[in-house]
Amino acid sequence: MKKVERDIIEYLLKENNWVSSEQILRFLNVSLRTLRSRVKEINAETQIIVSSKKGYCIPYKYIDIAKQKINDGNSIEDYNDLKRHDFIVKRLVFANKSIDMYSLAEELFISDSTLNSDLNSVRKILRKYDLSLVKNNDFISIEGKENRIRKLISDVVYNEAKEGLLSLNIISDTFPNYKVLELRKIIIEELAKCDLSTSDYNLLSIILHFCIIFERTKHTVSDLEYEDVVSYRKIKKDSNHFTVTMRIVEKIEKLLNISISEMEMLPFYSIISLYTRDASYHNITINDVNELIKPEILTFVKELCLHIYDNFFIDLKNDDFIKRFSLHLNELIVKRRKNSRNSLYKSIKESYPAIFELAVFMSKKIIERWPFLELNEHEISYIAIHIGAALENTESNKYSIAIVNPNYYCVNENMVKKIEQSFGSAVKYIHVFSDEMELNNEEYDIVLSTSDLNRKEYKILQTVSVFMNQGDLDKIQNCLRLAEYERGKNNHISLSNIISEEMTFVFEGKDLDRETIIKKLCSLLVDARVETEDYIESVLSREEASYTSFSNIAIPHGFKMNAKRTVIAIGLLKHPVKWGTNPVNIVFLLAVSPDKKAEFISILEDLIKIFTSSEWNRKYKTMNSFDKVCSFIQEQMKS
């Protein structure tokens, strides 16, 4: 069974209903002809997929047969051009010797001419790592510096991970000869003995890099340069990091029955130094930070919090955030960390776009101050984690609750306990009253009562039962959502008020690129005197920091909010354009005026919510005019 056939069956099983051909084509990114031929192939033995005007589905009586087909079928990979290139690179980096070109072509079911074309693309990939593809008669291999080959292997493994989520299973599958669970145990135990710690994500990175070193030293002679020797000699041999490195390597040598040269200690030491810190890190107070890092870093972080407030009206200035982020920034500067990896980066960017946007803004300010730092999207997502944690704990995101209930035994205590257990991070405080009169005129975001109250002018009033069952907790959850909506609607701008047909452009061409689209949409705003000429530069600069695509939409914008008025220019694409890793079919260029800064985040979130919805995915092919897009926005805002 080919992979695309397996994907069709799995998708239909997951949906468990009629699915239109457009939805399936969108999901699989294949042609209608391919879909029909694959369904025909699947149905060759037993017709498990039925079709009609509604689309395709797997009837209930065939579900078990469909699942059996997936389990029994040996998947033969359908390689498109990009997948073939990745496959060839992987074969080359993990090969112990040169690869026979003809055998490779047969393995991929492609012609020699197609393989030669693919190899030209592979050369371009290798060039990014300062590596070259060497051809000797009918054999090919990679040549270049050892540290660059190791970097390529690391990227290959991460790219293979689904959604970038690296795991022990992935490392074990890639390096089956190394006992990753036992490696993990050794590293954790030895770090603890030396009062060092690491996060779960960093621990995976340590294990991966160790396995890469084992694999490469097994088959190649190290090409350490003079600078490496000098670096090794400069290592403080009495430091915690060196001691733990020696202990870990010694135990690993026994475990795997291998021998590691003294000079190969340098990459091991570098990895341990990069990904670990003192175990006492989590107990550090804000006063300790003053002693541990340079004053300029602490001052910079405090100023950064002010910049965030000035531009987004979001307050991050609390001791906990300043402490933790100052230490994080200090590590970045001291260790000059490059090519960071965060397994959660994609999910953070897609699930919390507003927080990620704040992180991009902060990364720009950091690079302006320390230009030698390289903050990729993975590193930006680490910054986003710090911001998210701070916002979750901030008082402005919490709600006050009053409970009105005559106390009997410990009923009220139990009610409070259940609310705190279920919604603790969203609750500022809970006050309990035995009678409504005790409330006086004090205001609460939510008032909960076990009986009807006389006053009706409370912000949000909800009747609940004394025993606080799941139904009551669901009611409270809805109250919190309503409270969040009520709090935000005063600072909420309607999308319909900031779009117009004059600021909409339909792109007909097939060979468009991101920059061309941005420049055209920017010109609409500049010509209308909404923005100045330097706006294009600002938008492109923001794109360089991190692509502004989310699913099938892009929302480019500048770092500054200096527009004469808040406007969205819309680009409708007749043919999808690759925007980062996403194929985009609609673009919203966002220009925000200084008096609407506070609404920037809500505009961003509204656009992403509406145009990444399943409803949009069903209708986007018909959205070929401003009127249709405007109507769609109005429908979605009502729902």
H or E, element range at 196: strand 196-197
Percentages helix, strand, coil for the chain (3-state, rounded to 5) are 60, 10, 30
Picking from 280, 312, 342, the residue at the C-terminal end of a domain is 280
On whether both 389 and 406 belong to a single domain, the answer is no
Give the tens place of pLDDT for each residue, 562-608: 999 999 999 999 988 989 878 899 999 999 999 888 889 889 988 99
Per-residue pLDDT, averaged over 26-34, amounts to 74
Residue 30, pLDDT score? 67
Question: Is the same domain home to 193 and 230?
Answer: yes
**Domain identity same for 499 and 632:** yes
- Pick from 423, 418, 544, 436: nearest CA to 484: 423
Whether residue 617 lies inside any domain: the answer is yes
In a domain, 153, yes or no: no
Q: Is residue 156 part of a domain?
A: no
Same-domain status, 632 and 608: yes
Residues 549 and 530 in one domain: yes
In this structure, the answer to whether residues 417 and 540 fall within a common structural domain is no
Tell me, yes or no, whether 312 and 420 share the same domain.
Answer: no
**Residue 507: per-residue pLDDT:** 93
Q: Which of 472, 489, 506 is the last residue of a domain?
A: 489
Q: Domain limits at 481?
A: 398-489
Is there a contact between 593 and 566 (Cβ–Cβ < 8 Å)?
A: yes
Q: How far is CA 57 from CA 8, 22, 609, in A?
A: 10, 13, 28
Whether residues 628 and 517 fall in one domain:
yes
Pair 267, 294 in one domain: no
Q: Which of 144, 178, 194 is the last residue of a domain?
A: 144
Confidence of residue 1 (pLDDT cuts 50, 70, 90): low
Q: Which residue has the tokens 């990014």?
A: 128
CATH of the domain at 407: 3.40.50
Strand ranges for 388-445 from DSSP E: 399-404, 427-433
CATH number at residue 132: 1.10.10.10
Most confident by average pLDDT, 100-104, 462-466, 610-614: 462-466
540 has a pLDDT exceeding 80: yes
In a domain, 154, yes or no: no
Burial class (CB in 10 A: 0-12, 13-18, 19+), 39: buried
Residues 81-121 pLDDT 10s: 777 888 899 899 888 789 999 888 877 767 778 888 999 99
Percent of the chain topping pLDDT 70: 91
DSSP letter (8 states) at residue 19:
B
Taking alpha carbons only, the member of 323, 325, 307 closest to residue 315 is 307
Residue count of the chain: 639
Q: Are residues 274 and 300 in the same domain?
A: no
The pLDDT value recorded for residue 73 is: 56
185: in domain: yes
Residue 150: inside a domain, yes or no? no
pTM, two decimal places: 0.65
CATH of the domain at 580: 3.40.930.10
Measured in whole angstroms, the distance separating CA 1 from the mean position of its chain's CA atoms is: 32
**pLDDT band at residue 223, thresholds of 50, 70 and 90?**
low
Place of tokens 């890639």: 174
**Same domain assignment for residues 524 and 572:** yes
User: Per the domain annotation, does 235 fall within a domain?
Assistant: yes
- The count of domains in the chain is 6
Whether residue 219 lies inside any domain: the answer is yes
pLDDT above 70 (res 254): yes
The DSSP code for 500 is -
Same domain, residue pair 125 and 201 = no
